[in-house]
Amino acid sequence: MLALFQYDFMLRALLAGLAVGCVCPAVGVFLVLRRYSFLAETLAHVSLAGLAIGLLLGILPFAATFFTALIAAVAVEILRARENLYNDALLALAMSGGLALAVVLFSYSQKLGVDAMGYLFGSILTLTPGDLWLITAVAALVLAAVAFLYKELYFISFDEECARVAGLPVHKINFVFIFLVAGTVSVAVRVVGALLVGALMVIPVLIALLLAGSFGQAFRYAVGTGVAVTLAGLIASYYLGTASGGTIVLLAVALFVLVLAGSRIKGLLQRR
């Protein structure tokens, strides 16, 4: 087991996994409870287009991903508010539009010798020290913002109208939250890949919701589960020789099924 830690690439992967496993559910809790889970999935797909633009123009992939995700999220929010259109349909529009743009742009980037697979499914084992710093710094910033706005984000998620009447700057906080989601997606794409980011933001939260007896517990359980499945998935993928992103998400799905079955059995026993 300890042999794992003698490789620099594996240490970097574990540290990045710790950061992403922590930040994804910390933001995901508010997305799920606001029934906005699909936003993470959409932004992850849109971020692929950002990656492709970044690769073609020689822009730092994180910056390209972040700004593309941010622009898409803000555009969806504006269209939803001003045009009175259905939110889920707008998210589907952004997702398919982003993915289509990414496919077209990646066909160009392949001519430049760029492999899209690493961005689709993650490539945590190839992180450079610079990548690790960036991921850690962004995750720390997002976590600090979530900690600072924790009570406000909770109140808005539970009862937005009353939060507004209480004098909270709901519009501004919602805008900051979009930044946080875009930042989280941008760093998580590097670790688990665009196709699996949504899973890491949602599945730990679903597991936590099955177990929690309060909002505080739901938040803590979600973050704990996110960290646990990410680290365990990374270690498992190292020994099994499987793709890290897929292994992490499969482990999270397996844990969800296990917890769901456990809670059902507990419910049946309590009824007897």
| Whole-angstrom distance, CA of residue 187 vs CA of residue 200 | 12
Instruction: State which of residues 9, 86, 158, 239 lies at the interface with another protein (CB under 8 A).
Output: 158
The stretch near another protein (CB under 8 A) out of 58-66, 113-121, 215-223, 224-232 is 215-223
**Residue 256 binds another protein, judged by CB under 8 A:** no
Cβ 148 to another protein, closest distance in Å? 5
The distance of closest approach from Cβ of residue 172 to another protein in the complex, given in angstroms and rounded to an integer, is 9
Measured from the CB of residue 211, what is the shortest distance to another protein in angstroms?
Answer: 9
C-alpha dihedral (16, 245, 69, 74), degrees to nearest 10: -100
- Closest CB to another protein among residues 185, 222: 222
Q: Could you give the string, one character per residue 24-63, with x where binding to another protein holds by CB under 8 A and - elsewhere?
A: ---------x------------------------------
Binding test (CB under 8 A) with another protein, winner from 23, 127, 191, 218: 218
Which is closer to another protein, CB of 216 or CB of 262? 216
- Positions of E strands within 79-162: none
162 scored as a contact of another protein (CB under 8 A):
yes
Tell me which amino acid residue 8 is: D
Q: How far is it, in rounded angstroms, from Cα 149 to Cα 131?
A: 27
Min CB(116)–another protein separation in Å: 38
Residue 105 near residue 49, CB atoms below 8 Å: yes
SS3 of residue 241 by DSSP: coil
* 213 DSSP assignment: S
Q: Which of 10, 11, 168, 232 binds another protein (CB under 8 A)?
A: 168
User: Which residues make Cβ contacts (< 8 Å) with residue 166, sequence separation at least 6?
Assistant: 155
Region from 6-14, 63-71, 207-215, 224-232 binding another protein, contact rule CB under 8 A:
207-215
Residues 6+ apart with CB under 8 A from 66: 47, 50, 182, 183, 186
Residue 245 CA to residue 212 CA, distance in Å, equals 26
Site residues for another protein per CB under 8 A: 33, 148-149, 151-152, 154-155, 157-159, 161-169, 209, 212-218
